[in-house]
Amino acid sequence: FHLDAPLESISGSGNDISGMVSFNIEKPEATTGGIILKSESLHVGNPVLKEHMHGKDWLNVKKFPDIKFSFTSLANIKKNKNTISGVANGKMTIRNVTIAMPISVTITYLEGLLEKRNRVPGDLLVVRSKFSVKRDDFNIQKGKSLEKVANDIEIILNLAGSAPKS
């Protein structure tokens, strides 16, 4: 993630991500799923900034441990061989505030390539997206500290999921 305010630029990452996607290359419009990011896994290089970000005035990771995105369909689909691009029609939940949010995604289906990555037969599904959320929309210090912490949070998502074959 990245925030760019007049006085400070903040970049970080999250690494405790789980989820499920139901995908059929022949019926991409029926794609559904969801992902959960453990908010406590969000990391920035500055330990003091991380402490503030996790604290009760900002993300409050103890009270709101999950950031969630769930989607019920794909729209505006474009298909190019094993890659689908479109808009995931879903809902984002941060700090127990849920907002309808269409997100542009690119999904690449890699049939039979799990074995090259994990030595287990199966398929891979790679999901990529770049989108923004506004912290004000999720009641994260609404209207405060905008000179240091931007309201717009740019999120870059790169996920790989597997479907092992038995």
The per-residue pLDDT for 163 is 87
The per-residue pLDDT for 81 is 92
Whether the predicted model's global pTM rises above the 0.75 cut: yes
Residue 165 and residue 123 in contact, taking contact as beta carbons nearer than 8 Å: yes
The per-residue pLDDT for 130 is 98
The per-residue pLDDT for 119 is 80
- Using CA atoms, how far apart are residues 107 and 81, in angstroms rounded to an integer? 11
| Residues near 144 by beta carbon (within 8 Å), at least 6 away in sequence | none
Residue 125 and residue 161 in contact, taking contact as beta carbons nearer than 8 Å: yes
Tell me the pLDDT tens digit for each residue of 126-137.
Answer: 999 999 999 999
- Using CA atoms, how far apart are residues 78 and 147, in angstroms rounded to an integer? 39
The per-residue pLDDT for 115 is 85
> Which residues of the chain, if any, have pLDDT below 70?
166
The per-residue pLDDT for 3 is 96
Whole-number Cα distances in Å, 112 to 21, 115, 121: 17, 7, 7
Q: Tell me the domains of the chain and their CATH numbers.
A: 2-161 (2.40.128.110)
The per-residue pLDDT for 116 is 82
